[in-house]
Amino acid sequence: MASVNALAYLGITGPDIDAWKTYATEVLGLQVSPSSTDEKLLLRMDDRVYRFFVEKGDPGFSAIGFEVKTRGQLDELGSELEAAGITVKEDPALAKERQVVALLRTSDPAGNAIELSFGQRTDHDAFASPKGHRFVTGDMGLGHVFMMVPDQKEAYDFYVGKLGFLESDTIELMPGLNGQFLHCNPRHHTLAFAAVPGMNISGVQHMMVEVESLDHVGRAFDLVDAGAAPASTTIGMHTNDHMISFYMQTPSGFDCEFGTAGRKIDDSVWSVGHYEAASYWGHKRLREMPVG
């Protein structure tokens, strides 16, 4: 079975691209790509030509881009999805726009646009964070996304059964609400999701970016605490992935987790666990977190 191996990029929509440019550079420490236009903001966090693109629209996400290692694996994954009755379309024009060698378009059971690709372009100009950050990316991709889904079993069957994710663990986020955390490389989780019982909620609740230094997490929190962006939580440490992080609101309304020291998984010895609390300490709620 073919499988994805990392979160390559995210497509974001929002009503104010300039607000995203300010937030991305001055708070997150991302670098604006010189190939950005007035209609599309391209944001770098490593040697890739971009990891995020932001376009004008209703607040949310336009695409979740997962990568595979080779053309052969992309073809194999596409064939497996088609055999399972899932609509998949190769899109050379979109591949050119996304600056990848080849790309397949599909969607998950909740209707989220999923793009599968290989060969994202590397930028020959060195990445330079306006804040001096070094992000944890490489073979583990840009970070993770946490989604609210209307049907947790359908989501699990698609991402584990069709895209090849492996389960990391689960957390009882609140009574009746269990988050499932999935990995596709050593990063503790690239994807997580939960369904609110009795509610048909769908959408990305937060994304996560990881930096190498705790000092940079603290400095970023100081900026947010001073009003650079709405803080959603205080700094804390998660139970399952050991990430030391805080949450803040992005210009598109969903949250961004900004953290460091995330746990890595070795599949040869890993056992799926369950936690009854999301954090060992901290992460005190400062505002209602978005649910989709």
Residues 58 and 110 in one domain: yes
Global confidence as pTM? 0.97
d(CA 270, CA 185): 12
Report the DSSP pairing between strands 279-282 and 236-238.
Answer: antiparallel
Amino acid type, 227: G
Residues 29 and 89 in one domain: yes
The answer to whether 161 and 167 have CB atoms below 8 angstroms apart is no
pLDDT in tens, 51-92: 999 999 999 999 999 999 999 999 999 999 999 999 999 999
Residues 108 and 153 in one domain: no
Residues 19 and 109 in one domain: yes
Residues paired with 56 in a beta bridge:
14
d(CA 191, CA 182): 5
Residue 283, class by beta-carbon neighbours within 10 Å (0-12 exposed, 13-18 middle, 19+ buried)?
A: buried
Radius of gyration of the chain (CA): 18
Residues 163 and 210 in one domain: yes
Residues 150 and 274 in one domain: yes
Residues 110 and 171 in one domain: no
- Residue ranges making up the domain that contains 41: 6-118
Domain count, the chain: 2
In a domain, 160, yes or no: yes
Question: In this structure, what CATH number is given to the domain that contains residue 247?
Answer: 3.10.180.10
Rounded mean pLDDT, 110-116:
97
pLDDT over 70 at 274, yes or no:
yes
Q: What pLDDT shows up at residue 292? A: 56
Residues 103 and 167 in one domain: no
Q: Per-residue confidence at 291, pLDDT binned at 50, 70, 90?
A: low
pLDDT over 80 at 199, yes or no:
no
Domain edge (last residue) among 90, 118, 146 = 118
Q: What pLDDT shows up at residue 185? A: 98
Instruction: Identify which of 40, 72, 36, 73 has the alpha carbon closest to the alpha carbon of residue 55.
Output: 40
pLDDT over 60 at 163, yes or no:
yes
Q: What pLDDT shows up at residue 253? A: 95
Residues 147 and 114 in one domain: no
What phi and psi values does residue 154 have, to the nearest 5 degrees?
-60, -45
Averaged pLDDT of the chain: 96
pLDDT over 70 at 250, yes or no:
yes
Report the DSSP pairing between strands 6-14 and 52-56.
Answer: parallel
Residues 50 and 145 in one domain: no
In a domain, 133, yes or no: no
What phi and psi values does residue 23 have, to the nearest 5 degrees?
-65, -45
Cα-based distances in Å from 27 to 23, 54, 229: 5, 16, 8
Rounded mean pLDDT, 214-224:
98
Q: What pLDDT shows up at residue 168? A: 98
Of the given ranges (32-41, 196-205, 222-231, 245-254), which has the lowest mean pLDDT?
196-205
Q: What pLDDT shows up at residue 230? A: 98
Q: Which residue carries 């060969």 as its tokens?
A: 119
Residues 78 and 16 in one domain: yes
Q: What pLDDT shows up at residue 1? A: 85
